[in-house]
Amino acid sequence: MKSALIFILLGFCFTQYVTVQAQNPIGLKVSASLRGLLLGAAVVVKYLQPNIDQGQYNSNVVKNYQLIVPGYELKPEHIWLDENVYNFSDADWLLGATPNTTGWVQQNGMQLRGHTLVWAYDMRIPRWLLDREASITPEKAKTLLRNYIYTVVGRYRGKIQWWDVINELISNYNNTRPFYIANSFWYRKLGIDYVKYAYIFAHEADPDAKLYYNDFGIQQGGFKADRVFDLIDWLKSENVPIHGVGIQWHIKVSETVTPGDAHYQTAQRFIDRNLDLMVTELDISIPMVDSHPVDPNDIQRQGLAYRSILDYVLYFAPRTPALLTWGFTDRYSWIPAATNYTQGEALPLDANYQPKPAYWQMQDDLARVLLNGIYRLSPKSQPSTCLGIAGNSTRSAVQLYTGACNQTNQQWNLMWLGDGTYRFSPQSVDSSALNAYNVTASTGTVRIYEWIGSFDQEWVISCQGNATYRIGPRNAWQRVLAVDQTSNIVIMNSTRDERQQWIIH
């Protein structure tokens, strides 16, 4: 405790390894957003429909994720039906069919990353294209590629901020092609230059989109990662627009990540090339027999593994804008079928949409920034003051005090509630708690009220550095606890000024 306390006093944000499971978590999206991270998941459009699992698939995506990626619905194999024939029905449902219309994504305040314009295997190239290969000249192939990318990227211009332009280019099999790339229709027609054309066409179609290369098995360096480094160096030498690398990160629970290891060294090599990194398809599978984990401890290990990769993403921020899992519930995951049912239960929510240790570890890692204990709360704008209660009843007003602030009505018992939020109880009336009122009014009010465990008594805290914190009411987590112009304690919109930052000491 003492070392942890010193850690806090030094002004660092402290996260600790104890997780508490609770009812009704605030949701990973909120905790991630307060850390400046986009948390996401691959989704299947047909499961987002209200009749699927009583709407639980849909509601859990909206509660826990800011960013989605269609697992299938933006791939050439799904939308490119013939040279000028496209099936945009699913993508339009997500994003709207025209520049001035919206879809499920915008209507739910979400964001979407596009996956993928070119998947460099023949089995992922539309059948009609392969069937006509013999009659397609290189010039025609280049025109087809340009028209496809212009059509798809252009249709959702301004709605898709990130695109996997090319997915899984580097082969896992011995070959003599440049950068060890996979053989495919596009390579046979255009050689390695098709890779350049794809990024150039995507940039021409939407100059504001961030263009990524996406692959698996590259997170800890090695032969394949080295080929990706060579590819990126070549693209950059040709002034080809490429902005980031998607590290898919499909792993087994046995793979561990620790600061400074090959995972971190590899990330730094990508960042040194002025690239952003996203973890784009994280799942951490567990050995299974007859649909049961071989070792039940693997579920806990999986939680620590998810936390270690989230730590990696937080460490490299802001060059790591997002972490996405490939799916989010064990109810729908590609892993069991892809591993002949020897691996499974790879995601943060179980098959009944219940949070697993992986969920709680991520919620804890993102949101638990202070140890439980007794603290004074001083607005950064008036550091010689502190927040206290004005009376000694359980329903007192709160006000700022000046002076030593060593009275029990000027100090607060801070308790982590396990659901991503904290309780603040005055030390002098510990059965009450800081309570927000009218949280959506232009100026909400704050008092204490006897603790009943309601959401307006729960608070999110995020670290601003130098022992200062942002405190917001759970029911309006984008707003903040603040001191107004006449030193009243209020809830207001966040403007990040010093009246809204709290020294917690």
Interaction site with ligand G3I (CB under 6 A): 44, 71-72, 75, 167, 248, 281, 334
Closest CB 156 distance from ligand G3I, rounded Å: 18
Residue nearest to ligand G3I (CB): 72
Q: How far is the CB of 281 from ligand G3I (least distance, A)?
A: 5
Give whichever of 215 and 419 is closer to ligand G3I, judged by the CB atom. Answer: 215
Min. distance of Cβ 127 from ligand G3I in angstroms?
12
Distance CA 156, CA 95 (A): 7
Residue whose CB is less far from ligand G3I, 323 or 503 = 323
Token duo for residue 115? 């996956």
Do residues 220 and 309 lie in contact, with contact meaning Cβ atoms separated by under 8 Å?
no
**Least distance in Å: CB of 72 to ligand G3I?**
4
Residue 415 token pair? 């308790």
Q: By C-beta, is 71 or 355 nearer to ligand G3I?
A: 71
CB of 32 to ligand G3I, least distance (A): 22
Q: How far is the CB of 71 from ligand G3I (least distance, A)?
A: 4
- Which bin fits 55, alpha (ψ -120 to 50), beta or left (φ > 0)? left
Our CB check for ligand G3I shows the closer of 14 and 72 to be 72
| Residue whose CB is less far from ligand G3I, 44 or 371 | 44
Structure tokens given for 144: 């087809």
The residue among 22, 31, 116 whose CA lies nearest residue 66 is: 31
Report the residue number, 338 or 452, with the smaller CB distance to ligand G3I. 338
| Distances from the Cα of 189 to the Cα of 130, 136, 137, 142, 469, angstroms | 11, 8, 7, 8, 57
Going by C-alpha positions, the residue among 386, 384, 368, 385 that lies closest to residue 376 is: 386
Pairing of strands 80-82, 85-86: antiparallel
Minimum distance of ligand G3I from residue 70's CB (angstroms): 9
Q: Using CA atoms, how far apart are residues 48 and 31, in angstroms rounded to an integer?
A: 23
Neighbour-count burial of 158, counting CB atoms closer than 10 A to its CB (0-12 exposed, 13-18 middle, 19+ buried): exposed
- Say how far apart CA 246 and CA 113 lie, in whole Å: 11
The token pair that represents 80 in the structure block: 């490119």
Cα separation, 333 vs 377, in Å, equals 45
Instruction: Tally Cβ neighbours within 10 Å of residue 416.
Output: 22
CA–CA separation, 126 vs 114, rounded Å?
18
Residue type, 257: V
Q: Which is nearer to ligand G3I, 150 or 332 (CB)?
A: 332
